Structure 1
Amino acid sequence: MGVSILSLAWRSLMNRKVSAILTIVAIALSVALFLGVDKTRKAARAGFDNTISGTDLIVGAPSGQINLLLYSVFRIGNATAEISWDAFEDLQAREDIAWAVPISLGDSHRGYRVMGTSTAYFDHYKYGKQQSLTLREGERFDDVFDAVIGAEVARELNYSVGTPLVLTHGLGQGGLSDHDNRPFRVVGVLAPTGTPVDRTIHVPVEGITAIHVGWETGARNPLADTISEEMIRTFDLTPKTVTAAYIGLKSRGSILRTRRAINTNRSEPLLAIIPGQALSELWETVGAVERILLAISAFVVAVGLVSILTSILSSLNERRREMSILRATGAKPGHIFTLLVAEAVFLGLIGAIAGVVLVQGLIFAAAPVLSAQYGIALMGTAPGLTDAITIGVVGLAAFLLGIMPALTALRRSLADGLTVRV
């Protein structure tokens, strides 16, 4: 009898297709919103976590570890202070440090950040699961006025090897603060990484010094135009300061000891952070916002579930003769109860599954486009335990919501007999 009741419940829904479809759509959209927020949150974390790997420490001026992480790795915000070149060389000379890469930020080009660094950056900077940077075309910079650009910069500005580019003093959009007297030349384009590297223009740290010859007062000195590039190449272009440094240790077991030694350096105040710990602190900071978004989307799911109750209750008056006939043909009270509850569960499960399929369909459609056009890999968005739990919870909630109309229909069927009360 259980199988026939379930079959009857399904046929009953098919007889009320419009109402059933609208209810399913409401639940599917609410579940898709909930899972979309959850998957976006996880993908964002995965994207941040995969931006830098293989770097044991990041060293900069004392400005808070989240701030140092954001401007040195994600190009978000600006450094409030810099570290001296002497301090950077002291870091390089430490016996427990295997390599050190200087990072100099401050200039831009058409809205994209410019980063001065050394060729060691291309050897040691890694992202994702220890993936190294690779050149899609061209080569690394070799001359003072060479530039290696990220994949997004090349795509959006339609730049390629050989394209000249003029840097802008600071983060403006260009104009009177342009270094147009000393243009750079693109010598390499990096392959997409899905990280801020794609939106960065890389130049030698000496190049940053070179274009600021004559800008010592913060503004352009007209006499600077009389100094040729050939003459500048003969100057000592060693920078006086850098924004930060990426550090790799000879032994990861010494990371806490080395960090403590750098942070207690007496010759110059420095801040050494462990990227993973700084990311954890960042997620703790934004955790409250994440919980609010999830709570809102969960509330939307609850509103969608109420549509099941509304749909079944609104149809009960029309179905009173149906219930009475079922009772008259031998259906037991439990069968009537099961029929209504089964309809609610069907609506909930179908809606929840449709929501999961909708989210995955959107991800499937967007993934190749984002990967090809923007180098963004959607990580951690495949169907998983959260999807299964969501379907289960929605199904259980639908079952509980179906009890009320089921009891109402059962009570009416016992009292109505074969007479419909208007």
Structure 2
Amino acid sequence: MHVWMLLKSELRRSLGVLGGMALVLALALSLAVSTGLAERMLRSSSAQAADDFDLLVGAKGSAVSLLLGTVYLRDEPLFLVPAEALSTLKDSKRVRWYAPIALGDRIGNAAIVGTTKSMVLQGGARKVAEGRVFGAPLEAVAGAESGLRLGDEFLPVHGRVHGAGHAHQGEKFRVVGVMPPTGTPWDRAVMVPIERVWALHGPFHEPLHGHLHGEHEDHDDHEEHEGHDHHAEGTPEPLEHWLTEDLSSFPGMSAIVVKPVTVADAYRLRQDFSKMTVPGHDGNPVPLMGVFSGEVLVELYAAMGGASEALSFITGLTLVIALAATLVTGVLLGRLRLPTLLQLRVLGAPKRYVALLLWCIVMAVVGMGAVMGVILGWGIAELCAMGLTHQTGIAMRPELSINELRLFLLTLALGGLCALIPAWAAGRAKMS
């Protein structure tokens, strides 16, 4: 009788037991698969989200906080960078473009980022998907996932923790542009002119009022003036002209994003800023630091390396235990089916035939478990991706690679070796 026919008969008879062992092996393998997929997905997605932030300039402190606060828009305590730090970038030939960033306000769950047109358009490398870039202090450009659309109006809320903070009083911002999706946390952000963010906070409102509009005007006239679409009329209100003025009287900012011309320029700028100290608005010196987002990510990955290795060890150990359980199942199955196997021997079946039959039974369990493990591991990683995307705003998607294929083949190989033991034992069974 052909081995395949006996194998099908045995699989039908012991489907529950064999299926249960295959599931145990699948669960163990899925942990290893999902861990590898999730780690690789997290690394690649977080690195991609930081692609547009070559060099970050901040007040000296935690480089990790600076990265998380500016690139990933997390709630991080950042010391203010004096506006005078921008003066070193005005006419620098080492800089392709630069943009200040002011954080701290929000609308709903969307972070409001005070910045300039250079940041919105990435120095001309990016365009809005709908509408246009802001051209007046009370205009805004919304990210693709911010929940805002063209024409929407909103009042910013001070404080970035969900459920806390208070709304700013006064005129509302109006969305005049929507950005294309980028797969980064900035898809949930709303970008507004940094001048207006400055004007909304603290004792700088009156001085900035003049800087924003070129001259002082009373509030009623100002409100009427802001009610029109200056861009549509062809006379957009001038923005960013404060860059040509004395910056010492301006408020600070959370960070400065710098796009260097060359790699050599990037290293030179980082070195210069890391040695720089500029006076703050209160006259006290504020030391600065230049940070490469890529280097900080490498340090974070290295810090997580120990935990990743420990997790890999645990998942590997779990897989070994599952294979051992499969081996034990094969041995027990050989014992339970010993009368049938001996009957085959009586009918003239050689030892190798009996051994091959039991080896095939165990390998069927290993094969089913390996296939289900890879599928289940990918499903777990997909669920992790959905949760992380919702949590962080970073677009994530697991992708199977050669690593998962190697793990699959290794499981089959180890399972094949383990199956030799019960197969050998079955072939050696003596007829009474």
Larger deviation: 6-15 or 30-39? Answer: 6-15
Distance verdict in 2 for CA 1:55–1:371, change over 3 Å: closer
Are residue 181 (structure 1) and residue 170 (structure 2) matched?
yes
How far apart in 2 are the matches of 1:393 and 1:354? 15
What are the ranges of 5 or more consecutive residues in structure 1 without an aligned counterpart?
A: 127-131, 217-225, 418-422
User: 2:136 matched to which residue of 1?
Assistant: 143
User: 1:314 matched to which residue of 2?
Assistant: 332
Distance verdict in 2 for CA 1:229–1:165, change over 3 Å: farther
User: 1:97 matched to which residue of 2?
Assistant: 95
Distance verdict in 2 for CA 1:355–1:174, change over 3 Å: closer
How far apart in 1 are the matches of 2:161 and 2:382? 37
Aligned pairs for 1:21-420 within 5 A: 21-124=19-122, 133-154=126-147, 159-173=148-162, 177-212=166-201, 227-228=219-220, 230=222, 239-267=250-278, 268-360=286-378, 377-379=395-397, 381-411=398-428, 413-414=429-430, 416-417=431-432
How far apart in 1 are the matches of 2:349 and 2:145? 67
Contact kept, 8 Å, 2:359 with 2:423, in 1: the verdict is yes
Deviation, structure 1 residue 244: 0.8
Deviation, structure 1 residue 319: 0.9
Cα offsets for 1:395-419 (capped at 9, x unmatched): 12212322332343334x21x43xx
Deviation, structure 1 residue 276: 1.3
How far apart in 1 are the matches of 2:120 and 2:23? 50
Deviation, structure 1 residue 342: 2.7
Cα RMSD for the two superposed structures: 3.4
Cα offsets for 1:205-258 (capped at 9, x unmatched): 011012225588xxxxxxxxx945717989999542111111112222332222
Distance verdict in 2 for CA 1:44–1:348, change over 3 Å: same
User: Scaled by the length of structure 1, what TM-score is found?
Assistant: 0.81
Distance verdict in 2 for CA 1:287–1:133, change over 3 Å: farther
Cα offsets for 1:147-169 (capped at 9, x unmatched): 22222221xxxx32222211112
Cα offsets for 1:359-387 (capped at 9, x unmatched): 45677899999999x986444x3332112
Task: Quote the sequence identity (%).
Answer: 24
2:133 counterpart SS class: coil
What are the ranges of 5 or more consecutive residues in structure 2 without an aligned counterpart?
A: 206-217, 227-236, 243-249, 279-285
Deviation, structure 1 residue 266: 4.4
User: Scaled by the length of structure 2, what TM-score is found?
Assistant: 0.80
Deviation, structure 1 residue 28: 2.4
How far apart in 2 are the matches of 1:336 and 1:176? 75
How far apart in 2 are the matches of 1:328 and 1:125? 84
